[in-house]
């Protein structure tokens, strides 16, 4: 079975739990205050600073089309925070620190260990993230990309083809069976950490 099929199957149940999380429902229903939304972005910022850096370092060299996808999100999150009137600064959060540590540890385990987090976060942002982005724009009356850059990818018009291409390139990575087992487990943990982050806001 292809790597991304394995990851999708292994995380299906957790994906449903993430989608149905009360925080996510509030975000989709336009019921979050701007202070809550800012807290969410502040929690995500260190997670993406780490994921972006390690993906660039360890995964990008193995993916032919990486530079076309515009995946790193930390700069976009920082820009959204500034739009909401906040200096992009790290928050003191147990859930965020644990997530950051988990991403770092996956790269220490073996260089492509970060693929599990790459899959969970960037593909999530390209898919369900787009629905969240529309809900946030509508809730806070945002009419251009300012405040919602987190959800705007250069390849946004080609969102679905981009997902397909990313999956094809991930599926071509040279990985052993043991490494794929690890990625499956790690992607589940990445979803769990994302859910823990929702819990903590
Ligand atoms: C508002 C909540 C969410 C909705 C409505 C949603 C919806 C979706 C949809 C419709 C897809 C399928 C896209 C496609 O096959 O082209 C998808 C895929 C995905 N989502 Fe979500 N999602 C949500 C939240 C999340 C969260 C919180 C995460 C992780 C933190 C996440 C991670 C993923 C991943 C990794 C995929 C790719 C699955 C695959 O095809 O392998 N999603 N999501």
For ligand 1, atom 5, which residue shows the shortest CA distance? 128
Residue 196 in contact with ligand 1 by CB distance below 6 A = no
Residue 132 in contact with ligand 1 by CB distance below 6 A = yes
Residue 151 in contact with ligand 1 by CB distance below 6 A = no
Residue 8 in contact with ligand 1 by CB distance below 6 A = yes
Measured between alpha carbons, how far is 175 from 58 in angstroms, rounded to an integer?
14
Q: Which pLDDT does position 161 carry in this prediction?
A: 82
pLDDT in tens, the chain (201 residues): 999 999 999 999 999 999 999 999 999 999 999 999 999 999 999 999 999 999 999 999 999 999 999 999 999 999 999 999 999 987 889 999 999 999 999 999 999 999 999 999 999 999 999 999 999 999 999 999 999 999 999 865 567 789 999 999 999 999 999 999 999 999 999 999 999 999 999
Structure tokens at 115: 């693929």
Q: How far is the CA of 83 from the centre of ligand 1 (A)?
A: 26
User: How much is the pTM?
Assistant: 0.95
Residue 21 in contact with ligand 1 by CB distance below 6 A = no
Q: How far is the CA of 15 from the centre of ligand 1 (A)?
A: 7
One of 1.10.10.10, 3.30.70.1520, 3.30.565.60, 1.20.910.10 is the CATH number of 3-200, namely 1.20.910.10
């Amino acid at each position: 079975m292809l790597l991304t099929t394995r990851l999708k199957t292994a995380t299906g149940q957790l994906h449903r739990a993430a989608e149905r999380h009360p925080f996510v429902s509030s975000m989709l229903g336009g019921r979050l205050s701007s202070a809550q939304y800012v807290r969410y972005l502040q929690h995500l910022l260190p997670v993406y600073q780490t994921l972006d850096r390690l993906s660039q370092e360890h995964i990008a060299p193995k993916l032919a089309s990486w530079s076309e996808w515009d995946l790193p999100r930390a700069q976009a999150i920082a820009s959204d925070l500034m739009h909401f009137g906040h200096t992009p600064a790290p928050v003191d959060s147990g859930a965020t620190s644990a997530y950051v540590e988990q991403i770092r540890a996956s790269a220490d385990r073996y260089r492509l260990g970060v693929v599990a987090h790459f899959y969970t976060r960037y593909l999530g942002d390209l898919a369900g993230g787009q629905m969240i982005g529309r809900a946030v724009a509508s809730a806070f009356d945002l009419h251009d990309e300012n405040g919602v850059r987190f959800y705007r990818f250069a390849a946004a018009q080609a969102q679905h083809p981009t997902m397909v291409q990313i999956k094809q390139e991930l599926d071509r990575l040279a990985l052993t069976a043991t490494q794929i087992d690890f990625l499956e487990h790690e992607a589940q943990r990445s979803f769990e950490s994302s859910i823990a982050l929702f819990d903590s806001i």
